[in-house]
Structure 1
């Protein structure tokens, strides 16, 4: 294995003082300062009074939620793909069988328990991408608060409550073909 010798150029006396780099950095700081003072660039948003809702891009990934279909049936079939693909292991699913005589039975199992720990969730969107039934979606909500750890673990009831109803299928990948 050969050794590669990297020759470094000798610095001139003004480069050793780092004056060009310092002057450039101070120049950037002064430009930002002047833009902020003249009101051309808004840096701070007064959060409780001003919201980001108008400024959120459509691809913003907020907190995940479960959705129901047109007939208020659970779309989730407890395949557990979202649980297995979740990098921080924030999703926990306990499946149960559905009785064949149940009027809402369209598949053989559903989640008995479905929990997402919002503290552990990194909002990567892998759960939404992997779901074959389009049962889990990331919302456009960024204010997720709680006063205890227990409040930040959303159960199935809470996830369906905040997710709502989704009519039809979402053809999110058709635009990429």
Structure 2
């Protein structure tokens, strides 16, 4: 014969306990998020939209190595590297990211691309509002991802700071744009304007405050 069950039969009191949570919340004020009228700050380490960072003088940190694209599990990143030249230098060293795209229709914001980046060129911001009306607008290009021009920066391309190499940049010894870099950008802008190139404007963004030199 099967042994009798030792589990007690549910009583009336057990059923009342089950409704205790329901009755307890009936008289509380409901908590409603007033988004998007009221936006709550995100956690400091929240993984949001990506950003391509610059060195303090304005040169780009991305070296076009494509490691972020290889690390992406969703195949959301596309990178094309190219060689720097003395006439057109966008980053320290030999290579830079000529094409950089992130498809936010695929991106799962996992952050693996950040861990793969050897130069800390790619980081993630707290921006989370990535919805849009078309699929094409959710494919961000390099121009959409580059960080803002801060005081002490001049827009690339321009040479590296005098007497430095790429290791000087990677070790943080370049503080901001030098006078020679500012003159180089201004001269190129003047040449473009004099040649009548379409859309040519003086590319001196951020150069007003760029009076420092290479830090020791």
TM-score by length of 1: 0.72
Residue 47 (1) aligns with residue 35 (2): yes
**2:148 aligned with 1:164:** yes
**Aligned partner (choices 119, 129, 132) of residue 143 of structure 1:** 129
Residue 60 of structure 1 corresponds to which residue in structure 2?
A: 46
Q: Is the alpha carbon distance of 1:74 and 1:60 closer, same or farther for their aligned partners in structure 2, counting shifts above 3 Å?
A: same
Unaligned runs of 5+ in 1: 1-8, 38-42, 170-177
In 1, Cα distance between the equivalents of 2:131 and 2:17? Answer: 41
Q: Count the aligned residue pairs.
A: 149
Q: Which has the larger radius of gyration?
A: 2
Looking at structure 2, the residues matched to 32 and 59 of structure 1 have their Cα atoms a distance apart, in angstroms, of 33
* Alignment counterpart, residue 127 of structure 1, candidates 99, 113, 117: 113
- CA change 1:23–1:108 in 2 (3 A) is farther
Q: Are 1:94 and 2:80 counterparts?
A: yes
Unaligned runs of 5+ in 2: 153-168, 171-216
Q: TM-score, normalised by structure 2?
A: 0.60
The change in CA–CA distance for 1:147 and 1:107 in structure 2 (over 3 A counts) is: same
Alignment partner for residue 30 of structure 1, among 23, 28, 34? Answer: 23
Call closer, same or farther: CA 1:33–1:97 in 2, change over 3 Å: farther
Q: Secondary structure at the match of 2:114?
A: helix
Q: Distance between the aligned counterparts of 1:23 and 1:164, measured in 2?
A: 60
Report the aligned-residue RMSD: 2.7
**With CA pairs under 8 Å and 6+ residues apart, which has the higher RCO, 1 or 2?**
1
